[in-house]
Amino acid sequence: MRRCFLFLCSILLLFLACQTSEEDRIYRTLSQREEALRAKDLSLYLSCISRAYQDKQEDYEHLKNRIEHYFRTFDRIDYSSWDRSIHFEGKSAIAVQQFRLEVEKGAKKSQHSGKELLQLEKDGKEWKIIRGL
């Protein structure tokens, strides 16, 4: 009986260890977005964005067109983020992170940095960005 109990406990622990936490899934989405910006990969970028995206006057299609324009316009985009925190609110989450964005076109460089707030919602098993705050 004791061996059976230990076996079941070890199976349960193995199962729990293999589970990806919701926070880890959000980190993965944010990291993919970061990678997409640096690689200027529109399809990877859009895979991080909800089709229901709405931020101020910008919906998914406007965001897609804007990012596509940036990728065509700039020779290089460097984006990095750090100091992330995730706050869950029901079926959505708010990610807060520091960021630095540097873009380059020819010899001209521009740099922006600050705090970024993103709202995410779960879409199936993945988290997608639904708006910036």
C-alpha 73/C-alpha 47 separation (Å) is: 21
pLDDT (tens digit, 0 to 9) for every residue of the chain, 133 residues total?
Answer: 656 555 544 554 544 444 469 999 999 999 999 999 999 999 999 999 999 999 999 999 999 999 999 999 999 999 999 999 999 998 899 999 999 999 999 999 999 999 999 999 999 999 999 999 6
| Burial environment of residue 2 by CB neighbours within 10 A (0 to 12, 13 to 18, 19 or more) | exposed
Strand partners, 123: 126
Q: Which fold has domain 21-132?
A: Nuclear Transport Factor 2; Chain: A, (3.10.450)
Bridging pattern class, strands 58-59 and 54-55: antiparallel
Q: 0.85 exceeded by the pTM? A: no
Range 45-56 burial, b when 16+ CB lie within 10 A, else e:
bbebbbeebebe
